[in-house]
Amino acid sequence: MSKGLTVKQAARKAKVNRRTMQGWCSTGRVSAQKNEKGQWLIDKDFHIPTSRVSYRRLIPESSANVNKLGYVGKVPGSRDSSSWFTPKEYIDMSKDVLGSIDLDPFSSKEANRIVGAEKFFSEENSAFDNEWDVLTVFMNPPYGAKIINKAITRFLDQQYEFNFDAVVLVNNCTETVWFQNLLHCSAAVCFPRKRISFWNADGKSISGNTRGQAFFYFGNNCTKFKKVFSLIGEVLL
């Protein structure tokens, strides 16, 4: 690593003081080596350790935010997971990895106000009837037992055909065939350390999510996926 960063340069890049950077070097939290003078040289593409990340400030510590606490489902009293929208911070992370989102295949006009995909399919203009001929996809499909299997099969078929990059957000149902298929075909997966508090169309968090989630990555830039998503949980490549 002849062209590494000095502690001062790396500290400036990570917006920490030099002592913190030195601590990260000596505990192996950043990739670094000592030169012949005994000074640390840090890999110029080093990852900032998890506790210093800006996204973390955006991820709510608890779903029970008294200012945003909403209700379960589309309307008070229902549990319709069709309207469990992805919170913006996870959309921003996905855009960071993908560059932009060309297509959200399972969505609606309301959901796309948050997702901001160039194009989306909906119940009226179904993902099962249209081709996914794009470069990037963000997908958070409906969770109903009948549709999820079909949705993942459709995704894998279309990904194989058009070879787009994608981030796929699903519940962590490791025991299901569709989850195993995603594991088998994806390039990487992140298991967030907290359950996601999904949003409703009105921007309120939906309470009562009893499942954890997983983000799957399809594409060639696993380094970028790991850099961005390891901020919220373990990433396996």
* Span near ligand SAM by CB under 6 A; candidates 19-27, 119-127, 188-196, 225-233: 119-127
* Span near ligand SAM by CB under 6 A; candidates 65-73, 124-132, 157-165, 174-182: 124-132
Nearest to 32 by CA among 42, 21, 23, 22: 42
Of 108, 171, 200, 205, which lies in the binding site for ligand SAM, with binding defined by CB under 6 A?
A: 108
Determine which helix (DSSP H) or strand (DSSP E) holds 103, and give its type and residue range.
strand 103-104
Of 11, 48, 111, 137, which lies in the binding site for ligand SAM, with binding defined by CB under 6 A?
A: 111
- 145-162 and 177-185 helices cross at what angle (nearest 10)? 20
Of 40, 121, 217, 225, which lies in the binding site for ligand SAM, with binding defined by CB under 6 A?
A: 121
User: What is the β-pairing status of strands 213-218 and 188-192?
Assistant: antiparallel
Nearest to 141 by CA among 185, 173, 188, 96: 173
Taking CB under 6 A as the rule, does residue 157 contact ligand SAM?
A: no
| DSSP character at residue 81 | G
Query: Edge to edge, what strands does the sheet with 213-218 contain?
Result: 119-120, 103-104, 136-139, 165-171, 213-218, 188-192, 233-236
Taking CB under 6 A as the rule, does residue 122 contact ligand SAM?
A: yes
Work out how close the CB of 80 gets to ligand SAM at its nearest, in angstroms, rounded to a whole number: 9
Of 100, 126, 180, 223, which lies in the binding site for ligand SAM, with binding defined by CB under 6 A?
A: 126
Euclidean distance between CA atoms 146 and 137, whole angstroms:
22
Q: Which CB sits closer to ligand SAM, 81 or 213?
A: 81
Taking CB under 6 A as the rule, does residue 215 contact ligand SAM?
A: no
* Span near ligand SAM by CB under 6 A; candidates 36-44, 71-79, 136-144, 200-208: 136-144
Of 123, 157, 161, 202, which lies in the binding site for ligand SAM, with binding defined by CB under 6 A?
A: 123
Please give the full DSSP string across 50-70, using - where no structure is assigned: GGG-HHHHHS-S-S--TTTB-
Q: What angle do CA 142, 144, 148 make, to 5 degrees?
A: 65
Taking CB under 6 A as the rule, does residue 214 contact ligand SAM?
A: no
Residues that bind ligand SAM (CB under 6 A): 81-82, 84-86, 104, 106-108, 111, 114-115, 121-123, 126-128, 140-142
